[in-house]
Amino acid sequence: MLKKYLQKIKNSNDGFTLSEILIYVAIFMLMAGALISFVLTIVDIHTKSYVIQEVDANARMVMEVLSDRIRSSSGVTEDSSVFDSDPGVLVLTMDDPAKDPTVFELNADDGTLQITEGTGSAVNLTGSKVRVANLVFKNLSLPDLRNNIGIEITLEYNDTAGNRDYIYSNTLQTSVTLRK
């Protein structure tokens, strides 16, 4: 019985016609195109998500460090600080001699926010993938009250290739009151 069946298959002229092959190829191409489109969409979403996460993480960390140092300072050196313009510079007086003065300023070369404590060297607060596009400090202090400093900062992804997927910026504003 098996021998008859194999013989029948061998002698059969049944096969695919040209139109059937074209239909199968067209269906395969449509499915492959849809799959490629889906994968490219996932890659774009992942890239944009990474860019947003990188900028927002840097923004949170910068605001946290700025707020902490302003709160723990004993005063603001108004003569050395640059208020109400971009790029701003903030010079804080600290009780700890090793940290006095504490200076926040932008590195003019790459837009990196830096902190310098005392006679130490400048330390970058933002990563190399993020640059500060705008930094403004405002002296919101009133006479006979504690010093109050306003901060406005815009961070953006440092895209050197000009890719539209890497365009993202985040602007944060806050004010911080010195505790002393």
Domain locations in the chain? Answer: 29-177
Among 80, 67, 75, 71, residue whose Cα is nearest residue 172: 67
Is the pLDDT at 165 greater than 80? The verdict is: no
Among 173, 179, 177, 109, residue whose Cα is nearest residue 137: 173
Q: Is the pTM of this model over 0.85?
A: no
Q: What is the pLDDT of residues 61-83, one digit of tens each?
A: 999 999 999 999 888 888 888 99
